[in-house]
Amino acid sequence: MPFLPKTSFWYYQYLDAQSQVKNETFVNVALIHHISVQLTPPPVIGGQTPLVNIWMQDKDINKDPDVALTGVAASTFLVDFSTYVSPCSSTITLETNGALNPIQTLLNLKQGTNIVLTPDAFGGVTIAASGSIGTGFENITTGDNTTAAMTVDTGASLSYANSGVVNANEIGGINVSGNAPAHPGEVLVSQTGDTSAEWEDPIGIVTLTAGQNIGAYQAVAVRGDGLAYIADAGTLADADRFVGIAVTSALMGSTLQVQQSGTIDNVGFLFTPGTTIYLGLAGALTASPGLGLFELSLGVATSASQLEMQIGLVIVFA
């Protein structure tokens, strides 16, 4: 006999020899409180007959079952009951990443690489990481890390692309936080024994304030007001005021860097290697001496684009 899940009723019809219904048994499955199944001695040789007792209330209150089934009715009920009632019925669907699982009657969690799944006695499953787990930076969100350290070993590098920024407050064990370069061209300097570093101009470079607009790679002199101006071999006073060659440009009132020693690179020099370079007119660097009121050698061209600065002695023309 069929089990009717829509109404939660099971029923069985007892038929006579002429297939006429002589009795019917109804069981409201939704109200079953207790079921007892036992085997009774068979009425005929060949096996035992099941006896199914059903209570719709607490068995301890009333020892007599509300429904008793025997024979074919009992066997039929047990088959129908195991088919429709025993399996857990639910409206829950099993999905993975929003898509239905092909099998809806089983969910088998499988642990992946460096992932450990541990079931407990209460139906819970603990998911934990084990060992090292790697992922791309695109999967890492911003947050504060107070425990883990990342080591870049041989063959690996930490770099940036386009406008990406890599900031650090310590380099090689030296604290560089709390300060920033005052202008482009400064380098971090840490004296022996110090645990911190400061931004300073490289050795041989000074930072000055421009008293007029000055272009990069022009000769510079400092006047009595302490400002930097374009040096000129045609101005006799500049013989004692020359300080170096600008390696950055600046508008009047802005700062610029002036190199006083070392190698200066500029593809626009177009020097002949091995020639001596002198201070020229209006801040120019020239291979021709004696163009103004005094002569001041600035160094030697080591290539078409390089000047090795070696400021010489001033020669004033009578």
pLDDT single digits (tens) 176-221: 776 677 766 677 777 777 777 777 777 788 899 999 999 999 999 9
> What is the pLDDT at residue 4?
41
Please state, as a whole number, how many other Cβ atoms lie within 10 Å of the Cβ of residue 294. 21
Q: Note the pLDDT of residue 90.
A: 58
Is the C-alpha dihedral spanning 164, 168, 173, 177 positive or negative? positive
Which residues, given as ranges, of the chain have pLDDT below 50? Answer: 1-6, 86-88
For the record, the structure tokens of 128 come out as: 């934990």
| Domains of the chain, residue spans | 3-84, 205-316
- Tell me how crowded residue 9 is: count the other CB atoms within 10 A of its CB: 15
pLDDT on residue 104: 75
Cβ–Cβ < 8 Å for 26, 1: no
Q: Tell me, what's the pLDDT at 233?
A: 94
